[in-house]
Structure 1
């Protein structure tokens, strides 16, 4: 029992540090656009990148201490080490007002952060319930719609932002509202990655419900036929017993 309690405590501690990493990586999203929209280096964006790097490094150090082989754990977590270096580099790099090496650096860090956040949220994302998937997809499209509303001048209302988020995620591209600024175009890349994945989860869950209902009906038909055959066999055995007693 003490060993089980210690294991439960360790898992709880790991979950808390993982949520700290998730919060730090989420904070880099507005920092990316602060640096992108500002014509000169912005202290807030730089500070967020620096704090995110410190939080990620501290979390990995604490998680390694909980692991039986700390060095092996740190070696396997190469993505986190790369992220720490990328966040530190983003904190000291020049502003990303125009396309160039600083923008490419922060764009690469944003992609790595998205991969890390997906890894942390994977157990919660893949629960499989249709209601859960629908709620997750609605939340993703809602956040993307608000992002377009803030970043795209042509999306003058939240409704326009949500519509642009849906058409971008679904790769429909009607063309009535399109990203026009550098910030909204970069944001559209992440919307396609996250939104298309969310929509795919919805379609896969609906298909799974249909397949599951069809399989359940087939199983019921097989059981019904099996019960009928068992009843017929019992009647034949009963008839044979009656014939043998005569």
Structure 2
């Protein structure tokens, strides 16, 4: 069952649409103004939003921009404003689809499902390319590390070192295991190199996050990532 939010100042249209989608196993919430719609986005957490353009207070375009600040779910316009400029404006403010009134509710149903499925596939792909080690996120595709929305500038060696530990959270890794993963080989004299690079990595993490215990020393053995 998908959760959808319908936003329109026409109560009769909302009622007709709500009953149709509920019959088709959607969980539906309706709003007639921008204020209640924004509250619903945060509370109800819809998986898809259907917007009218002509709305009181904020119009649909303005409301769409506000919604894009708090959610990335599909937003579809259902509107009688059907000029090319209207449609372009809708997409520019963050919409994923623009459907002209009058419309077929059956078609709208399939457009909603298609957009939600596409969004879910993107989320799954994103999850596969990101390793979360609170409070850090490691982006595998572009080899970057973020604290909240701020990138932590790491050298390639520091990035590889963090990734090595993050792939085995809470598991102690030996100096040898870390050295082989990070540099491709290991000799006993490389232990100091590992220790120096861990020290530099720790300092950067502490400087950005304040968390001193993210990388723990395992006495006489190596290091591990502490997720707690």
| Coarse TM-score class (shorter-chain normalised) | under 0.3
Larger Cα-atom Rg: 1
The two structures have a TM-score, normalised by structure 1, of 0.24
Name the structure where helix makes up a greater proportion of residues.
1
The two structures have a TM-score, normalised by structure 2, of 0.25
